[in-house]
Structure 1
């Protein structure tokens, strides 16, 4: 029997919201060691010295090519492709007919060879791109693709290793590693390098608001390259970052890793019949509505407006042009009140019904974490990724809130579900609480907001 598709699952349950609130899909599992030392010091390393993150296993990869590929992508994306060429990467996004976000991923343009482009990210956007490319291929277009699931879902080794090196002394490590100063590479540009005699490509970017490179190359060289990086970084107190610490890195870089996808309207009806229901993810959090549209984001809500360019026609352009004139929400960091966080932890060891369990360093327990943000009793936004940052000794979350709420305002994050969903990741018995939080910029650190994109 074929697996149930998303359209069938919604029809069976009667509601997209109820389906995803109860669906057994955890937030995400990183298939690397949870800790190499301890997650607190591993977190601190990318802010104080240098850290090595292994990104080889947890992301889905879609290898792409063909003469008609770029026009096919242009038709579903507000990104500009005017200057897209080998040696450049971009944060690819896509929207529905009403301008709401489907997802995002990093599109690497490595070469003009058969699989010279690769889209990396969670499967949300990749599934939509794969569906679009398959339709184009069936229509006779010169496009082709190869899906490589992450290491939780794939047998065998990945095509590439991917190592992220970052921190205040990352450049010193690279100077030793490369035998000279690291190349001057613009943000999101790709350099050809040699590490331990092996060919490696390096993307200039950082995942936690610090300078760094993402190195990638043939999997067969992964141990040689990794060991060379660790040897070069030893005198600089390099630390390998495990799954626990790595999962919290978006909190500092200001990237919302799994935005809720706007795929539940008429323009995505055929796609829902193609998409297996098991790949649709799950909703966790206090936000509750019978209207699935209340879970949608625009690109501007999540700080992705810089990826929007109206230099070509694409699905959803007319609606997105109207949204761009006056975005209603913006991306922020919410700094959670220490006493309120402590009360949640304390409730776990007191008599009575405890608050919803709050995990460290990451609190996300649904694939899409969606917690209501209120001010003066009214909803003003949605809190998404949440967790603890050891360097700052702060619990925080990334959120999208009304533009009328300024930095420095105190809002409340509603933590815990009512009604409580039936997915196994949620505590069957808990009570909702409110957490005071101060609105701050995203990314939070001055470095991430200014120097980080200086060469953009």
Structure 2
């Protein structure tokens, strides 16, 4: 830990945007980019079965104690009245102004024992509240193992695809539990205890399972052996990250922690290195709050429970029926995407290189989206999906332009004056796109 806090750095910077822009992109996971080829790995989740290793790129927060539910209910938008042992929830945390701090998957492993897995911001916020509030809980956070260099407490794997159920039926000892969606229970795999969650990715059926990290290799090999006859493939970093645009889950918007007096004491508590996250893309706003999103506009409106008091409730009540923006999928124009690559083979300045399938150069990517020359939204997570033969991105677009079939334009490139060392010199490219629903693919989970 350094002695500098996030608030120290913000006070010294010209603005929060100046502090965060062009920090580049850190290592996503310890896994290789590809185990076979990312195209074959993408095909596996649609045609057979894919195996994903999630052990290294997320943070964990364990909370234990008789008042754990009170802590979650005070700071998350969710309904906790019906939350059974063996159930998981999409935990969503907002700031006092109703902007999204972050989300995670929350597992109730015991009556007073909880584990959540996800990006760091929401976990830091909840850890801070557990330490400074009057809650009878013990909380412990594990940083991203790829960043800390330490082994994780748990292995965490997923299998998904049309053959995932059959693979897991072969892999576990005894009968496959009949689990409802987001329900889990303890099983054994090759004699090793693990929790098995009914889940899925990229719109396909699947399971997530976790247990003691020391047993991870044995469990992985047992599942891969069971899946061999089905053509199971391991997902590398590239193919794994590309699944989000199909599923419709919007990862890594800028956490809403960098402004507001009510967040200041938290920023004074948070170590600088834990509070930094990079901004990139063609969208260039001076106000950090222009990069914030709300739970409603990213698709979490249906899980907001207004029958209890929580931080951000008043702002979300005002927004819920009339959000300014809506999450959509943008289908990029094939010819315009091809022209980006064509620029490499002609004289003059080239356009920003697309390193397929996920051309990321910052943690929090924002490209401006325009309609008739006016900015009407931001394009966020983009990926080429071989199964659709399309370049797609998840975007937030003003509701008046969010109907499927609406034609818009996004600017591919970095903002003027960008100093992101992960990006080469280039000229911006205007790419036509068509609005489509999010999620883009029929959900068969």
Q: What TM-score comes out, normalization by structure 2 length?
A: 0.95
1:190 aligned partner: 184
| CA-CA distance at 1:161 after TM superposition | 0.9
Query: Are the equivalent residues in 2 in contact too, given 1:284–1:364 (CA < 8 A)?
Result: no
| CA-CA distance at 1:155 after TM superposition | 4.2
1:365 aligned partner: 361
| CA-CA distance at 1:325 after TM superposition | 2.2
How far apart, CA to CA, are the structure 1 residues paired with 2:63 and 2:174? Answer: 34
SS at match of 1:439: strand
How far apart, CA to CA, are the structure 2 residues paired with 1:291 and 1:202? Answer: 43
Q: 2:420 aligns with which of 420, 423, 426?
A: 423
Q: Does 1:253 align with 2:247?
A: yes
How far apart, CA to CA, are the structure 1 residues paired with 2:98 and 2:310? Answer: 10
Q: Does 1:45 align with 2:40?
A: no
1:68 aligned partner: 67
Query: Are the equivalent residues in 2 in contact too, given 1:414–1:434 (CA < 8 A)?
Result: yes
Q: Does 1:267 align with 2:262?
A: yes
SS at match of 1:126: helix
How far apart, CA to CA, are the structure 2 residues paired with 1:270 and 1:52? Answer: 42
Q: Does 1:309 align with 2:305?
A: yes
| CA-CA distance at 1:320 after TM superposition | 0.8
SS at match of 2:110: coil
SS at match of 1:262: coil
Q: 2:172 aligns with which of 169, 178, 190?
A: 178
Q: Does 1:165 align with 2:159?
A: yes
SS at match of 1:81: coil
Query: Are the equivalent residues in 1 in contact too, given 2:173–2:187 (CA < 8 A)?
Result: no
How far apart, CA to CA, are the structure 2 residues paired with 1:180 and 1:236? Answer: 20
1:348 aligned partner: 344
Q: 1:299 aligns with which of 292, 295, 303?
A: 295
How far apart, CA to CA, are the structure 2 residues paired with 1:19 and 1:422? Answer: 12
How far apart, CA to CA, are the structure 1 residues paired with 2:321 and 2:143? Answer: 38
Deviations 1:222-277 (A, max 9, x none): 12211111111111001111111111111111111111111211211111222233
Query: Are the equivalent residues in 2 in contact too, given 1:373–1:414 (CA < 8 A)?
Result: yes
1:100 aligned partner: 99
Deviations 1:136-155 (A, max 9, x none): 2xx4x311111211222334
How far apart, CA to CA, are the structure 1 residues paired with 2:351 and 2:150? Answer: 42
How far apart, CA to CA, are the structure 1 residues paired with 2:146 and 2:172? Answer: 33
- In structure 2, the CA distance between the partners of 1:98 and 1:173, relative to structure 1 (3 Å rule), is same
SS at match of 2:345: coil
| CA-CA distance at 1:180 after TM superposition | 6.5
1:131 aligned partner: 128
Query: Are the equivalent residues in 1 in contact too, given 2:281–2:365 (CA < 8 A)?
Result: yes
Q: 2:139 aligns with which of 125, 128, 145?
A: 145
SS at match of 2:316: helix
Aligned length: 442
How far apart, CA to CA, are the structure 2 residues paired with 1:95 and 1:80? Answer: 14
How far apart, CA to CA, are the structure 2 residues paired with 1:156 and 1:291? Answer: 36
How far apart, CA to CA, are the structure 2 residues paired with 1:350 and 1:30? Answer: 36
SS at match of 2:294: coil
Query: Are the equivalent residues in 1 in contact too, given 2:382–2:393 (CA < 8 A)?
Result: yes
How far apart, CA to CA, are the structure 2 residues paired with 1:74 and 1:444? Answer: 32
Q: Does 1:399 align with 2:398?
A: no
Q: How does 1:385-396 map to 2 (within 5 A)?
A: 385-396=381-392
Q: What TM-score comes out, normalization by structure 1 length?
A: 0.93
How far apart, CA to CA, are the structure 2 residues paired with 1:431 and 1:418? Answer: 10
SS at match of 2:75: coil
How far apart, CA to CA, are the structure 1 residues paired with 2:415 and 2:217? Answer: 48
- In structure 2, the CA distance between the partners of 1:28 and 1:132, relative to structure 1 (3 Å rule), is farther
- In structure 2, the CA distance between the partners of 1:125 and 1:349, relative to structure 1 (3 Å rule), is farther
| CA-CA distance at 1:179 after TM superposition | 6.2
| CA-CA distance at 1:286 after TM superposition | 1.0
| CA-CA distance at 1:207 after TM superposition | 2.1
| 1-10 vs 289-298, which moves further | 1-10
Q: Does 1:122 align with 2:116?
A: no
SS at match of 1:105: strand
1:202 aligned partner: 196
1:227 aligned partner: 221
- In structure 2, the CA distance between the partners of 1:181 and 1:327, relative to structure 1 (3 Å rule), is farther
| 149-158 vs 28-37, which moves further | 149-158
Q: Does 1:375 align with 2:371?
A: yes
2:28 aligned partner: 29
Deviations 1:74-102 (A, max 9, x none): 11111111111210111111112221111
Unmatched 5+ residue regions in structure 1? Answer: none
SS at match of 1:56: coil
